[in-house]
Amino acid sequence: MLRASEVTKAYGTDPVFDGLSIDVDAGEVVAVIGPSGVGKTTLLGLLALSEEPDEGTVTLDGTNVWDADETKRLSLRRRVGMVFQEASLFDASVGRNVEYGLRVRRPWSDRLRNGVASLLGANSTTDAVRESLDVVGLADALDQHAGSLSGGEAQRVSFARALAYRPDVLLLDEPTSDLDPRNTAVIESAIDAARDRGIGVVVATHDMHQARRVADRVAVLLDHGITEMAPTEVVFEDPSDERTRQFINGELVY
Amino acid sequence: MTFDLIVQFGLALFELPFREGYVSSIIYVSLYVSLAAVALSTLFSIPVALVVGLTDFPGKQFVKSVINTGMGFPSVVVGLIVLFAVSNQGPLGSLELIFTKQAMIMSQFVLATPPITAISLAAVTGVDESVRDAARALGGTRFDVALVVVKEARYGIATAVLAGFGRAISEVGSVLIVGGNITGADGISKTRTLTTAIQLEARQGQYETAMVLGAVLVALVLTVNAVVVRFGDRGVQR
Amino acid sequence: MTIQRRQFIAAIGAGAVASTAGCSQSAGGSGGGDESGSDAGTGAGVAGETLTLTTTTSTYDTGLLDEIHGDFEAMYGVSVDAVAQGTGAALESARNGDADVVMVHARGLEDEFMRNGYGINRRDLMFNDFVIIGPEGDPAGIQGMGSATDALTAIADAEATFVSRGDNSGTHTKELNLWEAAGTDPGGEWYQETGTGMGEALNIANQQGAYTLSDRGTYISQRSEIDLTILVQGPIESGPEILANPYGIMAVNPGVHDNANYDLAMAYIGWITSPSVQDAISEYQVNGEQLFFPEAVSEDPDFQQYVPEGWSSESTDE
C-alpha cells in the first residue's frame, strides 16, 4: 500500500539512503531495525510523506506522492499517522489532544461552528475519540489535562491521538524506549489492535525483542539501505544477507 | 450608569471640582482608544510573530532588530510622525483624522505593536519544536500548526497583550499631540484621556487633582491585569 | 468552569458591542465631519458640523470657553472642538489647515499670520493683563512701581530669582519683549526657564519665593494656594499699559485651505464679537473676580484690528 522505491536521500554531503526500498501493506506490522543513527527517523519522515527523496519514488496506493499537486499531497499525507518517541502532547485536555487529527480534517465551516460552540460551553466528544482512548486503556482520562499525565500515559494518549482519525498507515518512532514494561505492553497491544483494524503499521525500534513480539515482517536498515526485508522469524533465524546476520548477532561494530 | 455614581461618590470624598460625567468620559476615552489600538495591534502582531518565529526568510535578522528597536522608540516621536501624517498637509490629510480618537488609536497602535510582537515572538519560539512536528505529522496544514503554536504560547501572548495595553494606556505625549486633549463645552471628553487630563491638571498646578486621576489610572490598569490573569488561571485549573 | 467561562465571554461580547456603539458616535462627531449633507435644506446649513478652534493653554485654562461655547453649539446645532495647544502650536495648526479659527494673544505673531495670508477677518476680542508677582518680602523692592521695565531691571540688578515660562507662549513672548524694552538681557542662575504651563510655573515660583510674570487670570485661580502677591499691577488696576494682554481671533483663510470650515468660523467670530456674548465674557468670573474685558464692541471705529499693526495702504508691505 505504502511503498518507497529506490530512494536516495542525503543531507548536504552526508548520504543517508542510497537506493532504499521498503513497503508496508494494510493490516500488517513492519518493524524497522538497525543501529542507532542509521536513519530510522529519516526513513519514517519519508514514509510520513513529509520529506522528499532526492531520487526514487514514494507511492501510496500506487499514486506517486511527489508528482502530485499540493492539495492532493496534503490529502495523501493525511492518510498517514505518526507517533514519536516523545509524546509531545498539546497544552490541553486529553480529549482535545486526541481530537486534533479529526479537527483539522473537518471543513472550516464546521470547525468555526464547533469552536464558537465550545467557547460558549458546549462539550461534545466524538465516539472516535473515546474509542481510540479505549484502545490504549485511558477512556476515563478524557477530561484530564495532558500535563497531569505520567510519561507512559502521555505516550499512550499520543498513540490514541494518531489512531483517532483512522489513518491507513501508522508510523511509530521508538514508541516505547522511554516507557516502563507495563506501558510498553499497552502500546504493543495497541499496535496489535491497529493491525487488526487493517492499518499498515511501521515500527522503528532498536529493541529486537520488541520487533520479534509485534512484527509480521522485519526490515533491516543498514549501510544506507534495507539489507533484508522478510517475515520476522526468517530475519532473526535465517537471514540471507551476511551483514544482517552480523547485526542480529551483535557482531557489527560502529 | 452605576459606574458613574460610584465615581461621583468617590470624587465627592475628595471634593474635586469635576462636572458630572467628566471622569467617566475620560475613562471611557482612555479605554476605548487603548483597547482598540491593542486589539488591532494584536491582530497584526501575532501573525508577524508567527512568521518571524516559525519560518526562515531573507532579512529575518533585520526584522527582529526593527521590532526590538521599536520597543524603546520614544513615544512622543511617534506622536509627531502620526501628526505629520494626519495633518491637513500630510498624506492622510483628506481623511480629517487630526484631533480625533482615530488618530490617537493610530499612534497607540504604533507604540503597542513592538512590545506585543516581541513578547509574542519570544513565546512562539519558546514552543517546543516537537509539538510543532507532532501537529504537522497528525495532518495539520501550516495554518493548523500556527494555530497550535498560538494556543501553546497563549500565556506568553497574553503577557504580550498586557504589556502592549500598559504602554498604550499610559501614553501621554503622542495622544496629546494628535488628539488635542479636547472636551466638549459640557465637560464630556472627546479626545481627553486620563493621562492627558492628568497633564492638564499638572500644567495648571493642580497637583492633588492630578494625583487622584493618577490613582484612578493605576486602579484601571490593575483591574485589567487582574481580569486577564484571572481568566488565564481558570484555564490552568482545567 | 464552563459556566464562568461562558459569563466571561458574554461580558467581553457585551463590551465589544458597547464599544462599537461608541465607535459610531465618535465617527459622527470627528473633526470636520460633514453630516449636514443629509440635513441640507432644513435649518442652518452648518448643522452637525464641528468647528476646530485652536487657542493657548492659559486662555483655555480660565474655563471661559467651556462656559460660553454651549450657547454657540445650541444655537447652530454644531460642536466646538477647543484645542489648547499654546500660542505657537495653535498658529501652526491653523497654518497647516488643521484648525478653522484661532484665538491667541500675541499680536506680533497674529500680524505675521495675516501677512502670510493664513488668517483673515481678524477682530479684537477681549483683553486682560499681566501682573508681576513675587514674594511678600520683595527683595528687589519693586512693590507698586509704575513701570514694568524698571521693575524687571531692579530684579536683574538684585539677581533675585525669576521664573520664566521659556516656552514661546504668549506670556513668554510678552516677558521677552519687556526685557528687551528694559534693555536688559536676562541670564544667570537667578533666571530660571521652566518650559511649563502657567499654573506649574506659579507653583515653581511659589516654592522658591521667586518673581514671575503671570497673566492675571491664572494668578487669580491659584491665589489661594500660593504665597506670592501682585507687586506690579497691570492696566486693569491702573498699572502700566505695556502689561496689557489683548486677545485676537482670526478665521483660517479658505483661499489657502479649501477644507477649512469657513462658514462656521465666521459664524463663530460673529457670535463671539456680538454684544450679548461680549457681555457674557465680561460677566465671567473666577474666584469672584472678572477675568476678561471685552473689546470687540465699540462705537468708534478701530481699523487697526483688521490689519497688521501699523499697516496702511501707503506702506510697502502687502
- Cβ contact, residue pair C9, A119, below 8 Å: yes
- Cβ contact, residue pair B88, C259, below 8 Å: yes
What does the pLDDT look like over A86-116, one tens digit per residue?
888 999 889 889 999 888 888 888 888 888 8
For residues C218 and C141, membership in a common domain is answered with yes
For residues C221 and C136, membership in a common domain is answered with yes
Task: Pick the residue from chain A with its C-alpha nearest to C2.
Answer: A121
Min Cα separation A89/chain B (Å): 7
Fold of B22-237: MetI-like fold (1.10.3720)
For residues C202 and C160, membership in a common domain is answered with yes
In a domain, C21, yes or no: no
Contacts of residue C2 in chain A, CB cutoff 8 Å? 121, 123
Distance of CA B116 to the CA centre of its chain: 9
For residues C216 and C266, membership in a common domain is answered with no
What's the rounded Cα separation, in Å, for the pair B114 and C139?
54
What's the rounded Cα separation, in Å, for the pair A88 and A159?
11
For residues C119 and C201, membership in a common domain is answered with no
What does the pLDDT look like over C203-226, one tens digit per residue?
899 988 999 999 988 888 888 888
In a domain, C28, yes or no: no
Secondary structure (H, E, C), chain A: CEEEEEEEEEECCEEEEEEEEEEECCCCEEEEECCCCCCHHHHHHHHCCCCCCCEEEEEECCEEHHHCCHHHHHHHHCCEEEECCCCCCCCCEHHHHHHHHHHHCCCHHHHHHHHHHHHCCCCCCCHHHHHHHHHCCCHHHCCCEHHHCCHHHHHHHHHHHHHCCCCCEEEEECCCCCCCHHHHHHHHHHHHHHHHCCCEEEEECCCHHHHHHHCCEEEEEECCEEEEEEEHHHHHHCCCCHHHHHHHCCCCCC
What pLDDT sits at residue B16? 67
Task: Pick the residue from chain B with its C-alpha nearest to C205.
Answer: B205
Three-point CA angle A142, A146, A148, nearest 5°: 105
What total of structural domains would you count in chain C?
2
CA dihedral C268, C274, C276, C282 (to 10 degrees): 90
Largest CA distance in chain B: 65
What pLDDT sits at residue A228? 81
In a domain, C304, yes or no: no
Identify the domain containing residue C266 by its residue range.
50-128+246-298
Would the pLDDT of C45 be above 80? no
What backbone phi and psi angles, to 5 degrees, belong to A9? -145, 135
In a domain, C280, yes or no: yes
Would the pLDDT of A83 be above 80? yes
In a domain, C29, yes or no: no
Q: Is A90 on the interface with B (CB under 8 A)?
A: yes
For residues C123 and C189, membership in a common domain is answered with no
- Cβ contact, residue pair C30, B102, below 8 Å: yes
What does the pLDDT look like over C88-144, one tens digit per residue?
899 999 999 999 999 999 888 999 999 999 999 999 999 999 999 999 888 888 888
Q: Is C196 on the interface with B (CB under 8 A)?
A: yes
In a domain, C45, yes or no: no
Q: Distances in Å between the alpha carbon of A162 and those of A87, A132, A139, B156?
A: 11, 9, 15, 28
Percent of chain A at pLDDT exceeding 90: 22
In a domain, C237, yes or no: yes
For residues C166 and C239, membership in a common domain is answered with yes
CB A138 within 8 A of CB A157: yes
Task: Fill in the DSSP letter of residue C242.
Answer: G
Min Cα separation C16/chain B (Å): 10
> Is residue C1 very low, low, confident or very high in pLDDT (cuts 50, 70, 90)?
very low
Min Cα separation C18/chain A (Å): 20
Contacts of residue B136 in chain A, CB cutoff 8 Å? 50
Counting Cα atoms < 13 Å in the Cβ hemisphere of A179 gives 26
For residues C133 and C94, membership in a common domain is answered with no
Residue C269, C-beta contacts closer than 8 angstroms, at least 6 positions apart: C101, C121, C123, C249, C251
For residues C46-72, average pLDDT: 91
What backbone phi and psi angles, to 5 degrees, belong to C119? -120, 140
> Is residue C315 very low, low, confident or very high in pLDDT (cuts 50, 70, 90)?
low
Q: Is A237 on the interface with B (CB under 8 A)?
A: no
Higher pLDDT, B18 or A93: A93
Beta-carbon contacts below 8 Å between B and C: 104
Looking at chain C from residue 202 to 221, which residues have their Cβ under 8 Å from any Cβ of chain B?
A: 202-203, 218, 221
Q: Is A93 on the interface with B (CB under 8 A)?
A: yes
SS3 of residue C126 by DSSP: strand
For residues C175 and C201, membership in a common domain is answered with yes
CB C181 within 8 A of CB C149: yes
Task: Pick the residue from chain C with its C-alpha nearest to B236.
Answer: C1
For residues C207 and C153, membership in a common domain is answered with yes
SS3 of residue C127 by DSSP: strand
- Cβ contact, residue pair B204, C61, below 8 Å: yes
Cβ count near C312 (within 10 Å): 8
CATH number at residue C90: 3.40.190.10
What does the pLDDT look like over B50-71, one tens digit per residue?
999 988 899 999 998 998 888 8
Q: Distances in Å between the alpha carbon of A87 and those of A1, A235, C69, C243?
A: 27, 30, 70, 83
Contacts of residue A82 in chain B, CB cutoff 8 Å? 134, 137-138
What does the pLDDT look like over A194-231, one tens digit per residue?
999 999 999 998 888 888 899 999 988 887 888 888 88
CB A209 within 8 A of CB A220: no
Average pLDDT score, chain B: 87
Contacts of residue C9 in chain A, CB cutoff 8 Å? 119-120
What residue ranges do the domains of chain B occupy? 22-237
For residues C143 and C203, membership in a common domain is answered with yes
What's the rounded Cα separation, in Å, for the pair A31 and A215?
6
What's the rounded Cα separation, in Å, for the pair A33 and A25?
18
> Is residue B5 very low, low, confident or very high in pLDDT (cuts 50, 70, 90)?
low
Looking at chain C from residue 7 to 66, which residues have their Cβ under 8 Å from any Cβ of chain A?
A: 9
In a domain, C307, yes or no: no
What's the rounded Cα separation, in Å, for the pair C307 and C100?
19
CB C51 within 8 A of CB C268: yes
- The three three-digit cell numbers of residue A133, written as one number: 482512548
What's the rounded Cα separation, in Å, for the pair C203 and C199?
6
For residues C134 and C278, membership in a common domain is answered with no
What pLDDT sits at residue C35? 43
Task: Pick the residue from chain B with its C-alpha nearest to C222.
Answer: B205
First to last CA, chain C: 77
